[in-house]
Amino acid sequence: MSQPARLVVLVSGSGTNLQALLDATADPAYGARIVAVGADREDIEGLARAERAGVPTFVRRVSDFETREGWDAALTTVVDRFEPDVVVSAGFMKLLSQEFLDRHLTLNTHPALCPAFPGMHGPRDALEHGVKVTGATLFVVDAGVDTGPIVAQVPVPVEEDDDVASLHERIKTAERAMLVDAVGRIAREGISVEGRRVRIGAVAR
């Protein structure tokens, strides 16, 4: 792990998780800096946040490539160039190739308590199921959808008058704090992943 740790953050949308990391990394004591922000689409607030912070950005759109494999390779190449210690997929709406994952320790946030409610609609599915507690999960990305080894989780209560939007906003507030805390500790203390067991600290990586 470099000191400060080098982060590449991938986004597809509003980028509030990215903003939380940008704010945290402004303090040198945090132990990490964002060396680039990448996206799979143009004209999103996530890219604007990076530009306002003076962080380099790149965009690789699937539609600009003849094959998905071509896009996978292009994304891997551009991320490689920034030599990240950790890639953070923060609301990035694409699956990453196995080659990418083999090369980069990649973390993702999911707005539910894994293994419950994987996929695109975590808050909606939790609400429809009627759970009283849901939350957010930070995990190491593997070949599945929201299945990877769990790094951190935070519980969030479901209120009786919640709709999907109000629940997702409450989850996102907790999710951002969890992400900032865990990424900072990983940057400062290292991370070990053995099978499904993740430990921050103890073993530097």
Q: Which residues are documented as binding site?
A: 15-17, 68, 93-96, 108
Do the beta carbons of residue 93 and residue 119 sit within 8 Å?
Answer: no
Among 111, 135, 148, 184, binds ligand GRF (CB under 6 A): 111
- Under the binding rule (CB under 6 A), the answer on residue 14 touching ligand GRF is yes
- Under the binding rule (CB under 6 A), the answer on residue 91 touching ligand GRF is yes
Among 8, 16, 76, 141, binds ligand GRF (CB under 6 A): 16
CA-to-CA dists, residue 148 to 35, 43, 105, 165, angstroms: 25, 30, 12, 26
Cis amide linkage into residue 118, ω under 30° from 0: no
Ramachandran sector of residue 124 (left: φ over 0; alpha: ψ -120 to 50; beta: rest): alpha
Please state, in angstroms and rounded to a whole number, the distance separating the CA atoms of residues 135 and 154.
Answer: 5
Q: Which residues are documented as binding site for (6R)-10-formyltetrahydrofolate?
A: 68, 93-96, 108
Interface of this chain with ligand GRF, residues 21 to 60, rule: CB under 6 A: 46
C-beta of 11 vs 180, nearer to ligand GRF: 11
- Is 121 noted as a catalytic residue in this protein? no
DSSP state of 28: G
Q: 3, 205, 4: which is closest to 107 by C-alpha?
A: 205
C-beta of 32 vs 136, nearer to ligand GRF: 136
- Under the binding rule (CB under 6 A), the answer on residue 170 touching ligand GRF is no
Binding footprint of ligand GRF, residue count (CB under 6 A): 15
Taking the CA atoms of the chain, what radius of gyration do you get in angstroms?
A: 16
Among 49, 109, 138, 187, binds ligand GRF (CB under 6 A): 109
- Residue 118: alpha-carbon gap to chain centroid: 15
Q: 109, 107, 96: which is closest to 68 by C-alpha?
A: 96
- Under the binding rule (CB under 6 A), the answer on residue 90 touching ligand GRF is yes
Do the beta carbons of residue 140 and residue 106 sit within 8 Å?
Answer: yes
Using CB positions, name the residue nearest to ligand GRF. Answer: 91
Q: Which stretch binds ligand GRF (CB under 6 A): 11-19, 32-40, 62-70, 155-163?
A: 11-19
Q: How far is the CB of 20 from ligand GRF (least distance, A)?
A: 8
Do the beta carbons of residue 41 and residue 61 sit within 8 Å?
Answer: yes
Applying CB under 6 A, the residues found at the interface with ligand GRF are 11, 13-18, 46, 90-91, 109-111, 172, 175
Which residues belong to the active site? 110
